[in-house]
Structure 1
Amino acid sequence: MNFYQKTKGILKKVSIFGLLTILIIAARKPEDRLPAGDADNGGLAIPDGFETLVVADSTGQARHIVVNENGDIYIKLRYFGKGQGGGTVALRDTTGDGKADIIKNFGTYKDQSSLANGITIHNGYLYYSSSLVVYRSKLIPGQLLPGEKYETVLTDDHEHGTHWHITKPMAFDNKGNLYVPFGAPSDACQDMVNSPGGKPGNVGLTPCPDLEKHGGIWKFSADKLNQTQADGSLFATGLRSIVGMRWNSADQNLYAVVHGRDNLRRLFPEYFSSWQSAVLPAEEFVKVTQGTNLGWPYYFFDQMKGKKMLNPEYGGDGKKEAEGAKYQNPIIGFPGHWAPNDIMFYTGNQFPERYKNGAFIAFHGSTNRAPYPQAGFFVCFVPWVNGKFSEKWEVFADGFAGMDPIINVSDAKARPMGLAQGPDGSLYITDSKKGKIWRVMFKGNKKSFGTAQLAAMEKHKLNGNIRTPHEIDDNLDKETKVAGQKIYNTYCTPCHQGNGLGDGSRFPPLVNSEWVTEDKRKLIQVVANGLEGEIKVLGKPYNDLMPKHDFINSEEMAQLLTFVRQQFGNMPDRVSVEEVNRVLKR
């Protein structure tokens, strides 16, 4: 046998071996080609048959997420390039173990404002946003990072004071349209600083001027650059705050999860108990069509009554329906303050058939349920049945907080935030505290999946972060005796939390804060007169509204501030009634 014949024989054997290898790989079940889940499922409780692995452990304060068709992951960070090496993170797994071994920050843009959220892929571009601007960058095939050039798609160009809800998530339909919400700045269209009629914030403006440019969703061209709100058209109104919004290809409609209002007890203690304020009003899962009106700021949805109720700023008392029936009700009204921050419709084939076209919703978790434990901090699932969404929901993933009960939001180990579907049908979930990224995969038997697995997850509805709290037994204030603490729990914990650490993003900490420890006169003025605009606390910027509390009498003000200084600033000296009267000239 000559050299040519030997070589030909070897090549033939190699070719046959290679072909067999390819055939063996191709014959493997899809679930066999998935990476192994972590032994502890990344700390999560999920239905039997699913496995979870942690893709990355600490990318930064991760918000929304998108996964490209090649498996590359892009995450929008909360802060737009402030000390994080860029406002966006790109991740790639080159080894096939499901763990990201390449992690790169990129993107420092003209608008460096905080509260960045939205990120998605559309027509070969990576779209991403800050509070005020929607950008896009061209994705380059085979390259992890998009092109360095970025283009401005939309700018929120009207003046803003301290607006609470102006993040810019995005959704695209299949007709060349882009949908962007412009959130409202208040609970119910009040002047929170100079409200007429008594206590700040207790009177709503009629008609509400905010509805001209806020409290709704506007429709724009998907590919036109340098747009402002004037280039769009109002698509839906009466929507206070939207962080999660998606286009549903199953019925070609837009859907959103809407944050309900806050501060029922703090502003209207004569009408609402602490318990009512903790569980009301509903967070709403809604179908949004042209002309949708959910009734904000005049009405809120009471999920226990199943009705729209008149807001107290407009004469409501928790019992008056007035004309609430003329406004659209949600598909589901979830309990108050769970903070639904993303929604995703499952279109993959990896999960059992019952998940097809259903909606996953990530509940970021409450900050303002005190004196009751905080709630949310899980991912739910809403099935798609006979061409529409079920009115019943299921617990899909729990355990993010790592504790029960959750007294302060800062105690939670993680807070689920963003959702995305990978090209293989895996579900990705982000954490906003440190930036952990989970990947959920199905490895079980699709045919036998059902009643038993779902029943086991149903038991999680009895956990403290999901069940409705008992009005007496779960009230953390029932044994409070320290002077000033009950006042603090009523007016301060919704923002600064019971432990004084704030929520880590919008509301600053009080513990060892220079605003608490350095100048009693300044502290009295801030609490009584309110504060608006950017400030720094312990070196970190914050820009939210501190409303007036000048309705608190001098004795209670002294008790409150003494508690704050001694509890969170370790300052032994008290704030006296005389000091309060002298500063406020009472």
Structure 2
Amino acid sequence: MSHHKPTSGALACLNFFNRRYLKVIGAGISFILSAFTWYNSDTKLPNPDPDNGGLYLPGGFRALVVVDSLKGRVRHIAVSDQGDIYVKARFPNYNDGFGNIALRDTNNDGRMDVIQSFGKYEGRSYGTAMRIYNGYLYFSSELVVYRMKLNGKALLPDEQLDTIVADVPPYHEHQTKPIAFDDKGHIYVGWGAGSNAGQEKNRVPGSKGIGDPFSPEQGNPLLKDHGGIWRFDADKLNQKQTDGTRYATGLRSIVALDWDPKSKALYTVNHGRDDFRLLWPYIYSPWESAMLPAEEFFKVNEGLDGGWPYYYYDQIKGKKLLNPEFGGDKIKEGNGAKLQKPLIGFPAHFAPNDLLFYKGKQFPERYKNGAFIAFHGATNRAPYPQAGYIVAFVPFKNGMPSGDWEVFADGFAGVDPIISVRDAKYRPMGLAEGPDGSLYIADTEKGRIWRVIYTGDKKQFGAPQLAGMLKRKQTASNIKTPDEIKDNLFKNLPKNSQIYNTYCVACHQRDGKGDGNRFPPLEQSEWVNVDKFRLISVVLNGLKGPITVKGLPYNEVMPAHGSFLNDAQIAEVLNYVKSNFNNTPEIVTAADVAFVRKMSAEKNNQQNGQRAN
């Protein structure tokens, strides 16, 4: 059999055909690989950190730190359909004056490698909201809800800053402006009340509450335009509070707010009041003050009255009780039984600061439609360990909790026990769901954000995977019910600090460092060390309005301790403060206090006389 070689013309034709054929095949392979790569980039989960970023999680869950040490820190967050993270900065003054931060992962490793700040507007550390709705980024300062239009696939939104709702100055405590959206074009805005319990003199022991809890016509004046939730048109610009509808009332401080699309209802977790022991020491023991009142988880139907400032919820007794400012004694219910009870009464001072109903498919079925709650941790648990500092989960069915609340993520604080709030390394604040169903958790203290993913077998998830977190709920000092005797951290302190522990520690903390946000530090403070007579005057007469301490702004109410402490007691506590917390020791005598008290009285008399004329 003979073999014939092709002619040169035929060979050229064959080579051309082969090149065309290989090119088509190659293009097809390239397309398939490209499609495979695109598919994996959207579905493949990133590698978790070996230590889960320091978090304790249920079995099968892992975590990674996606960004760390954001200089503006973090309040609420939102995640776009592209996986970009938008951050409401906690401290705009630390962030070159910008109130927002945008983050992007450009190499698909799960870590944010592009960080860009944007949005300059008036704001302080209480500015809270960050949500995405209908192609817009909505966020808030203490006084205003803004929005900026997202610009396609660009990381930063358009520069135009729209005002949606504007509050009336001045700024005060609990002005956080959290937001949520329903399915009918409404935006809901929380309006916190700048008071502990609606007293005549805020945070002053024995001060009575204003208003009659049994007569709505003579109610507390704060309830006219604070202490509730208002509903507005989400697309209308330059609205004032009077343009909206008061949707709910009787809620002291709302930071956690979300709409559940499954049950088509609004939910919130309300901050309970503080300072039972400080204000009413002959009624409440230190243990009762640490345990009460509940942080209340409400389904918010229109017209809800949470009862504040007249009532609080005792989660131990399961009752709404009359606040002592209005004649309560831990037993009197008044009309409390007529008020709506919360779905859950969480332990006191956990500080609920965000709420998220999970809609994704990445997590096991039990998490679908349930609610995650970020408990920031508060300052009012002394003399017991500070509590909260976790992300909890509440399983839901048919719009109602279907089981006990669970600890979903712990380990943020990094210490056990948490004696002072500043001991906590991280504090969970913001929650957001990614397009793939990952859960993002933001921290206020160091500017860290975690991404929680599920890597286990969803069909096998159950009690064994939850056992470790159940044990933490029962044993960790920041979660469990403290033993009244064994867990008292202050029982062996020297006597000369008892006044401080009774009246000062809730705000300024045991270490004198404050809470890092609401209450200023005493440690190496210019207000402590520069002028002792000014310091005496502050303790005697109180302080109200914005101040700066060690370069940071504060705007809380310092009560006039001169109304309930005598000269010797004030001298004693100031000597304790000046002799501790790395301050400059200086003797304060009862005579010094008496002198300042006399001068203050003469000044007040003179001012009253001028007003009378």
Shorter-chain TM-score above 0.5 = yes
Where does the alignment leave 5 or more consecutive residues of structure 1 unmatched?
none
Where does the alignment leave 5 or more consecutive residues of structure 2 unmatched?
1-10, 213-218, 602-613
Identity of aligned residues (%): 54
Partner of 1:91: 103
| Shift in Å, 1:25 | 5.5
Q: How does 1:324-343 map to 2 (within 5 A)?
A: 324-343=336-355
1:192 maps to which of 187, 190, 201: 201
Partner of 2:492: 479
Query: Structure 1 pair 84/392, CA: closer, same or farther in 2 (3 Å)?
Result: farther
Query: Structure 1 pair 209/248, CA: closer, same or farther in 2 (3 Å)?
Result: same
| Shift in Å, 1:19 | 4.9
1:150 maps to which of 143, 161, 179: 161
Partner of 1:43: 54
Which residue identity is paired with 1:584?
R
Partner of 1:163: 172
| Shift in Å, 1:114 | 3.6
1:273 maps to which of 280, 285, 291: 285
1:543 maps to which of 530, 545, 555: 555
Say if 1:202 and 1:268, in contact at 8 Å, map to a contact too.
Answer: no
Q: How does 1:357-368 map to 2 (within 5 A)?
A: 357-368=369-380
Q: How does 1:13-412 map to 2 (within 5 A)?
A: 13-21=25-33, 33-59=44-70, 60-81=72-93, 83-109=95-121, 111-157=122-168, 159-160=169-170, 163-192=172-201, 199=205, 201-206=207-212, 207-412=219-424
CA distance in 2, matches of 1:53, 1:378: 17
2:565 maps to which of 523, 529, 552: 552
| Shift in Å, 1:26 | 8.2
CA distance in 2, matches of 1:577, 1:240: 38
Partner of 1:512: 524
Q: Which of the two has greater helix per residue?
A: 2
SS in 2 for 1:284: strand
1:440-473 CA deviation, whole Å, 9 max, x = no partner? 0011101111110111210111100000111111
Query: Structure 1 pair 23/102, CA: closer, same or farther in 2 (3 Å)?
Result: closer
1:183-225 CA deviation, whole Å, 9 max, x = no partner? 1111111122698xxx463433332001000011111011000
Say if 1:190 and 1:205, in contact at 8 Å, map to a contact too.
Answer: no
Which residue identity is paired with 1:510?
L
CA distance in 2, matches of 1:387, 1:210: 31
Which shifted more, 267-276 or 383-392? 383-392
| Shift in Å, 1:35 | 0.7
Partner of 1:571: 584
| Matched residue count | 578
Query: Structure 1 pair 193/284, CA: closer, same or farther in 2 (3 Å)?
Result: closer
SS in 2 for 1:447: helix
| Shift in Å, 1:318 | 1.3
In the superposition, the TM-score normalised over structure 1's length comes to 0.95
CA distance in 1, matches of 2:454, 2:405: 20
CA distance in 2, matches of 1:496, 1:205: 30
SS in 1 for 2:46: coil
Which residue identity is paired with 1:124?
G
2:440 maps to which of 428, 446, 469: 428
CA distance in 1, matches of 2:584, 2:92: 36
CA distance in 2, matches of 1:114, 1:466: 26
CA distance in 2, matches of 1:193, 1:456: 42
In the superposition, the TM-score normalised over structure 2's length comes to 0.91
CA distance in 2, matches of 1:570, 1:510: 8
CA distance in 2, matches of 1:247, 1:329: 19
CA distance in 2, matches of 1:243, 1:216: 11
Say if 1:80 and 1:116, in contact at 8 Å, map to a contact too.
Answer: no
| Shift in Å, 1:85 | 4.6
Query: Structure 1 pair 406/113, CA: closer, same or farther in 2 (3 Å)?
Result: closer
1:535-563 CA deviation, whole Å, 9 max, x = no partner? 11122221111111111122211110100
1:499-525 CA deviation, whole Å, 9 max, x = no partner? 011111111110111111121211111
Query: Structure 1 pair 428/205, CA: closer, same or farther in 2 (3 Å)?
Result: same
Say if 2:126 and 2:174, in contact at 8 Å, map to a contact too.
Answer: no
SS in 2 for 1:560: helix
Say if 1:430 and 1:437, in contact at 8 Å, map to a contact too.
Answer: yes
